[in-house]
Chains A and B, each alone.
Chain A
Amino acid sequence: MLAAVRSATLLGVEGRPVTVEVHVATGLPAFQIVGLPDEACRESRDRVRAAVLSSGLLWPSCRVTVNLAPSNQRKGGSGLDLPIAIGFLAANGQIPVESIEGLGFVGELGLDGTMRRVPGIAPMVAAMQPSTPVVAAAGFREAQGVVGDGVKVGGTLREVVDALNVEAPWPHPPDEELVDEEPPPPDLADVRGQGAARLALEVAAAGGHHLLLVGPPGSGKTMLAQRIVGLLPPLAPEVSLQATMVHSAAGVRLPSGGLVRRAPFRAPHHSSSMVSLVGGGSATLRPGEISLAHGGVLFLDELGEFAPVVLDGLRQPLEEGVIRLARARASASLPARFLLVAATNPCPCGGGAPGSCECDDGARLRYLRRLSGPLLDRFDLRVGVARPGVDDLLAGGGGEPTVVVAQRVAAARQRSIDRIGMLNSAIPAGSIDALAPLHPEARVRLRDQLEAEKLTGRGYHRVRRVARTIADLEGAGDLVLDEHVVLALQLRVRLSVTSRDRAA
């Protein structure tokens, strides 16, 4: 009259193993779930009973007690429907208790007994290991991406019960053809002109340097930003797995292979709240956009329109690559190592060529003040993007396609990883002289810039890291030359309020 079924719930991007214990006894008919279930979980009483009856199985008058162990953790979501139903049927003698050994169940049940996919299949399946997971057919790819072969699926509760009773074979997993291939990312060859911005994209992708695009509306900032994902190499296996967990936990559709292999591109709107961006929520700690962008690009269009609090919330994850969320009942740490690409207008009116802007200095100052100094400081690359002129459109020609640039990027990344085991943007200030030695001419140039107060101490290190990446892209050897430094300085536009009356 007792059965225990293995399952799991989700907290943040991690699965937590849960044992569903079901006790069936004589007594006044009742159905009780204990062990800190949340609302969706407690409602499973009604779904499970209906599903069992609709599947042609029996629900005799008896007293049913379900305990979700460990009982001191909150459990959320509807993924425990299936294990509760299986536990009830086993405790009730409708399936043999031995048959569920070595299996783990996750899935939501419809009132007619169909099995539905729930968010977070990937991390939950990982938490149930080494048990063989049984999931809804729609969650097969996700589960397979994590544990490989051996995932069992079911379309309905009845199919699972028949398979467990050895009255029927396990249903076949869905065929490959059901899923469509991801469209390729937009190509860099579509961009006309914009040499400096193209170079900035290449450098950002090669060195992991955060990038700020400054330009008037219609100058192609968004178009450029979307093309940076194509330049990034496929995710490394461990990053790919982490990204898959995050996407699964957030309920975002996964690509056909079940694993997130291509660098993600997330572009939240500027009205986004703090929680939607960094993650949170009281029960499950759902991952935010910064975690969904893990391994890829977070693009913030109209940076100045984001609430300042939200932007300042990005500073810690930018620094550490993880976001640690803590709530009264639970805490979780979610991966969030992303390349930040942002776009902003130079001033409220949109600006453009000198003399065409209508804002006075005060208005410009107020606009740029919205971007806090510490955040602006984290952009190694700040590039002005101008509306392409007629000449650009006609003579500029489509530049190099993504494929060609991506090869250079991959080679440069390999060079920096061979040298220091990380990307150039992460070179510590202390070892920059050893890792990015300067040609004497370049040294003089940087000294001049510092003396003219066009460069701050922090800006100096950032320029040197960018120059290192530019040298790597050229395959120029270990010495950073003057021309690399000049280009790095050009990719660090002075925002006018800082440049005009005072030094940058």
Chain B
Amino acid sequence: MSSPPPEAYAAALAGLEEMSLHRLGTLLRNHEPEQAWAVVLGKAPATGLIERVAVQPGVRAAWQRSAEARGPAQVWARCRQLGVEVMSHGGPRYPAALLDDRLAPPVLFAKGDLSLLGGRRVAMVGTRNATAAGRETARSIAGDLAMAGVHIVSGLARGIDGVAHRAVLAAEGEGRPVGIVASGLDVVYPREHSDLWAAVANCGLLLSEVPPGTRPDAYRFPLRNRIVAALSEVVVVVESRERGGSLITASEALERGVPLMAVPGPPSNRASGGTNNLLRDGAAPAIDALDVLTCLALKPFRSAFEVVDQRPRPRIGDIALYRELRLEPRTIDGVALACDLSLVEAAMGLARLEQAGWVAEADGWFECVGSPLR
């Protein structure tokens, strides 16, 4: 049997238990991958800082145990089978955007079109539990950006992440989805996104820093967020609670000097607490795709004439309903009471507004969606 290529050793190293970003980085900086594998197995002397780690009995035992369970040949075979490409830091195919990053992943696993990382890239992230309005915003911004040829980077999580990527796929523009995931590329999480994973890998790019088969452990998600930030030219946070995970992506972006934008929301909406705080702290507001394109310098300035609302303008009577709903989401009872209408009149008005796409309903609550009525 021919011996596996150096990338196979690097891939196997990335999948070891007790292997951290720093340990892997140090190992691969000081040794060739094949030699590093020998160090891990205890068959070669360690040099540099890794010496201190490698002598810790717990770490050594875990490395050896998992190295014996899954060697380079097996990892390599699995990657070939899945069509996953393995790149080491400094290798010819390694994304240039990550090369100078302080916490650049030493090994990357990719499936899809790597050339996308040479295009314009915007990250869209947000809460896993978004309001209907937040979803609609994510959908329209991501769709419009994709039509303008911008690739959308996101984490493939539930909520905003998933909506943004679905919108990119639906838009069928030049822009493509780039998904950064925390688990191995064959471990779909969350499970209901399995169709989305496949679509992103087919039409765009899927990236992970761990080899196939790695579980989606909770600590991997914040680490994944740093790659999202590092790969993007602009990070847009659509909705986030005051302690939401998307704020990690936001602070990673700030650390790297990546421009940060946030979608404003009503103060009463807790799902917008985090984004509103970002705005107060100086993030740029992103109301629609044009704002993001301006930030990318793809548009010289905002022009009010460019946005043409396709939706039919509501009747005079329904505008009062719409204005009430702009203040806060309401139930049909709430609308009837606020506008002093009968239940039938309110229902008819809401049905017309919903039909035209001005409001959306979920769980009996009506919310305004899309750009506001001018």
Residues on A lying within 8 angstroms of B by beta carbon are 193-197, 199, 214-215, 346, 351, 353-362, 364-365, 383-386, 389, 391-392, 395-396, 445, 448, 482-483, 486-487, 489-490, 493-496, 499-501
Contact of A351 with B270 in the complex, beta carbons under 8 Å: no
What's the least CB distance linking A353 to chain B, in Å? 5
CB distance from B371 to the nearest CB of A (A): 19
- Of residues 313 through 359 on chain B, the ones whose CB sits less than 8 Å from some CB of chain A are 328-329, 331-334, 336-338, 343-344, 347-348, 350-351, 355
* B residues 152-184 touching A (CB-CB < 8 Å): 158-159, 162-163, 166
B131 close to A499 (CB less than 8 A): no
Q: How far is the CA of A195 from the CA of B347 in the complex (A)?
A: 11
Chain A residues lying within 8 Å of B270, measured Cβ to Cβ, are 355-356
Measured between beta carbons, the chain B residues less than 8 angstroms from A486 are: 344, 347-348, 351
B333 near A395 with CB under 8 A, answer no
Does residue B20 face the partner (Cβ distance < 8 Å to A)?
no
Q: Does B306 contact A (CB under 8 A)?
A: no
* Residue contact A500 to B362, C-beta cutoff 8 Å: yes
A214-B363, A384-B363 are known contacts; what are 20 more A-B pairs with Cβ within 8 Å? A199-B343, A214-B364, A351-B363, A354-B271, A354-B362, A354-B367, A355-B272, A359-B129, A360-B159, A362-B128, A395-B337, A396-B337, A483-B347, A483-B348, A493-B361, A494-B362, A495-B363, A499-B361, A500-B135, A501-B162
- Provide the bound-state CA to CA distance between A384 and B330, in Å: 11
Q: A353-B328, A493-B363, A496-B363 are in contact. Are A392 and B337 (CB under 8 A)?
A: yes
Name B190's contact: one of A362, A392, A496, A499 (CB within 8 Å). A362
Residue of B nearest to A495 (CB): B363
Chain B contact residues: over half helix, strand or loop, or mixed?
helix
Closest CB in chain B relative to A398 CB, distance in Å: 15
Contact status of A196 and B343, CB under 8 A, knowing A356-B270, A362-B158, A448-B355: yes
Count of CB-CB pairs between chains A and B under 8 Å: 111
Chain B residues within 8 Å of A359, by CB:
129
Contacts of B190 in A (CB 8 A): 362
Closest to A358 in B: B129
Chain B residue numbers with a CB within 8 Å of A501 are 162-163, 166
In angstroms, Cα B351 to Cα A483, docked, is 10
Q: Which residues of B contact A385 (CB under 8 A)?
A: 364
* B314 smallest CB distance to A (angstroms): 16
Interface string of B287-316 (1 = CB under 8 A from A): 000000000000000000000000000000
Distance in angstroms from B198 CB to nearest chain A CB is 16
Q: For A498, give the chain B residue with the smallest CB separation.
A: B362
Query: Does the CB pair A354–B329 fall under 8 Å?
Result: yes
Q: List 15 A-B contacts (CB under 8 A).
A: A196-B332, A196-B333, A196-B364, A197-B333, A351-B363, A354-B329, A354-B365, A355-B271, A384-B365, A386-B334, A396-B337, A486-B348, A487-B344, A496-B362, A499-B361
Q: Which 5 A-B residue pairs are closest in the complex by CB-CB distance?
A: A384-B364, A355-B269, A354-B131, A360-B128, A355-B271
Q: Is the CB of B347 within 8 A of A391?
A: no
A500 CB contacts on chain B under 8 angstroms: 132, 135, 362
Known: A193-B333, A487-B343, A487-B347. A357 touches B129 (CB 8 A): yes
Instruction: Say yes or no: A194 contacts B351, CB within 8 Å.
Output: no
A346 to B362, CA, bound (A): 11
User: Is the C-beta of B146 less than 8 angstroms from some C-beta in chain A?
Assistant: no
Residues of chain A within 8 A of B150, CB atoms compared: none
Chain A residues, CB < 8 A from B332: 195-196, 490
**For B338, what are the chain A residues with a Cβ–Cβ distance below 8 Å?**
391
| B263 close to A (CB within 8 Å) | no
Task: Say yes or no for B36: interface residue by CB 8 A criterion.
Answer: no
- A197: which B residues are within 8 A, CB to CB? 333
Q: Is B133 an interface residue (CB 8 A)?
A: yes
Smallest CB separation, B2 vs chain A (Å): 45
- Which of B135, B162, B362 lies at the interface centre, i.e. has the most chain A CB atoms within 10 A of its CB? B362
A353–B131 CA distance with the chains assembled, in angstroms:
9
**What chain B residues lie within 8 Å of A490 (beta carbons)?**
332, 347, 350-351
Bound Cα distance from A496 to B129, whole angstroms: 11
Q: Indicate if the CB atoms of B364 and A386 lie closer than 8 Å.
A: yes
Nearest Cβ in chain B — how far from A42, in angstroms?
58
Question: With A and B bound together, what is the CA distance between A215 and B133 in angstroms?
Answer: 20
How many whole Å from B349's CB to the nearest CB in chain A?
10
* Contact in complex: A361, B363 (CB < 8 Å): no
What residues on A are CB-neighbors of B334 within 8 Å?
386, 389
Among B166, B328, B329, B363: residue with most chain A CB under 10 A: B363
Cross-chain contact A361 with B347 (CB below 8 angstroms):
no
Contact residues of B between 260 and 287, Cβ < 8 Å to A: 265, 268-272
| Nearest residue, chain A, Cβ from B268 | A355
A386, A392, A448: most-surrounded residue (chain B CB, <10 A): A386
- Nearest B residue to A363, CB-CB: B129
- On whether the beta carbons of A353 and B329 are closer than 8 Å, the reply is yes
Contacts of B132 in A (CB 8 A): 354, 500
Bound-complex Cα distance A358 to B244 (A)? 11
Most buried by A among B128, B131, B332: B332
| B344 nearest CB across to chain A (Å) | 5
A355–B131 CB distance below 8 A? yes
Taking CB atoms, residues of chain B closer than 8 Å to A355 are: 131, 265, 268-272, 329
User: In this complex, which of B133, B159, B344 has the most chain A Cβ atoms within 10 angstroms of its Cβ?
Assistant: B344
Tell me the complex Cα distance, A361–B355, Å: 25
Are B367 and A392 closer than 8 Å at their CB atoms?
A: no
**Which residue of A is nearest B163, CB measured?**
A501
Rounded to whole angstroms, the CA-CA distance of A362 and B192 in the bound complex is 9
Q: A196-B331, A355-B270, A386-B333 given as contacts; is B351 within 8 A of A489 (CB)?
A: yes
Q: Shortest distance in angstroms between A136's beta carbon and chain B's nearest beta carbon?
A: 53
Q: Which residue of B lies closest to A351 (CB)?
A: B363
CB neighbours (8 Å) of B268 from chain A are 355
Question: In the docked arrangement, what's the CA distance between A496 and B363, Å?
Answer: 6
Closest to B338 in A: A391
Cβ of A361 and Cβ of B364 under 8 Å apart?
Answer: no
A391 to B337, Cβ gap below 8 A? yes
- Flag if A445 contacts B351 (CB, 8 Å): yes
Shortest C-beta distance, B350 to chain A (Å), equals: 8
- Bound: A74/B362 CA distance, A: 55
* A445 proximity list for chain B (CB < 8 A): 351
Give B216 Cβ to nearest chain A Cβ, in Å: 12
With contacts A483-B348, A500-B135 taken as known, whether A384 is within 8 angstroms of B128 at the C-beta atoms is: no
> Which chain A positions have C-beta within 8 A of B343?
195-196, 199, 487
- Which A residues touch B331, using CB under 8 A? 196, 384, 386
Minimum distance in angstroms from A98 CB to a CB of chain B: 71
Q: Which residues of A contact B350 (CB under 8 A)?
A: 490
Contacts of A362 in B (CB 8 A): 128, 158, 190
Q: Are B365 and A353 in contact (CB under 8 A)?
A: yes
The residue in chain B whose Cβ has the minimal distance to the Cβ of A483 is B344
